[in-house]
Chain A
Amino acid sequence: MSRLGSTPSQTVGPYLSLGLPWPDGPAVVEDGTPGAVWIRGTIIDGAGTPVPDALVETWQADPNGRFDHPDDPRGAQPGFRGFGRCPTDDNGEYAIRTVLPGALPDEAPHIDVSVFARGLLHRVVTRVYFPDHADAHADDPVLAAVPEERRHTLIATRTEDGYRFDVRLQGAGETVFFDV
Chain B
Amino acid sequence: MTTSAESGLILPRYRRDPEGTHPPLDSPGYKSTSLRHPKQPLVLLPHKLTEVTGPLLGPGRLGELDHDLTRQHPEEPQGQRIIVHGRLLDGDGRPVPHSLVEIWQANAGGRYKHVWDNWPCPVDPNFDGVGRTITDNEGRYEFVTIKPGAYPWKNHDNAWRPAHIHFSVFGRAFPQRLVTQMYFPDDPLFSQDPIFNSVPDEKARQRMISRFDLGRTVPEWALAFEFDIVLRGREATPFENEEEDA
A contact set with B: CB distance below 8 Å: 1-20, 22, 45-47, 49, 51, 53, 57, 59-61, 65, 67-69, 71-74, 81-83, 104-107, 110, 112, 114, 116-125, 127, 139, 141-142, 145-146, 150, 169-171, 174-180
Contacts and interface: CB of A to CB of B under 8 A. Distances in A.
Contact of B241 (A16, A68, A105): A105
A1 B168 CA distance: 26
B130 A104 contact: no
A170 B231 CA distance: 28
Contacts of A177: 38, 40, 42-43
B103 A71 contact: no
A77 to B, nearest CB: 11
The 5 closest A-B pairs by CB, nearest first: A19-B104, A119-B32, A83-B55, A121-B23, A178-B45
Interface string B43-66: 111111111111111000100000
B80 interface: no
A138 B103 CA distance: 42
A73 B203 CA distance: 36
Contacts of B21: 5-6, 8
Contact of A20 (B7, B61, B168): B168
B156 interface: no
A4 B50 contact: no
B191 interface: no
B168 to A, nearest CB: 6
B139 interface: no
Contact of A8 (B93, B113, B180): B180
Interface stretch (B70-78, B171-179, B211-219): B171-179
B38 to A, nearest CB: 5
Contact of A82 (B30, B55, B102, B198): B55
A18 B6 contact: no
Contacts of B104: 15-16, 18-20
Contacts of B61: 22
A16 B117 CA distance: 12
A157 B61 CA distance: 33
B84 interface: no
Interface of B: 1-7, 9-12, 14, 16-18, 21-25, 27, 30, 32-40, 42-57, 61, 89-94, 102-104, 112-114, 116-117, 128-131, 166, 168, 172-175, 177-181, 195-196, 198-199, 201, 203-205, 207-208, 228-233, 241-242, 244
Nearest to A18: B104
A20 B102 CA distance: 7
B94 A1 contact: yes
B173 A104 contact: no
Contacts of A176: 40, 43
A22 B46 CA distance: 30
15 contacts: A7-B230, A8-B205, A10-B181, A10-B198, A15-B104, A15-B117, A19-B129, A45-B36, A69-B54, A106-B6, A119-B36, A121-B24, A122-B22, A124-B38, A179-B16
A121 B22 contact: yes
B91 to A, nearest CB: 5
Given A10-B198, A61-B49, 5 more contacts: A7-B208, A8-B207, A59-B174, A105-B9, A121-B30
B19 to A, nearest CB: 12
A178 B93 contact: no
A18 B130 contact: yes
Given A46-B35, A106-B3, A122-B23, A15 B43 contact: no
A19 B148 CA distance: 15
Contact of B179 (A5, A10, A60, A106): A10
Contact of B6 (A8, A10, A74): A74
- Residue of B35, B61, B130 most packed against chain A (CB within 10 A): B35
A30 B57 CA distance: 17
A46 B104 CA distance: 28
B57 A83 contact: yes
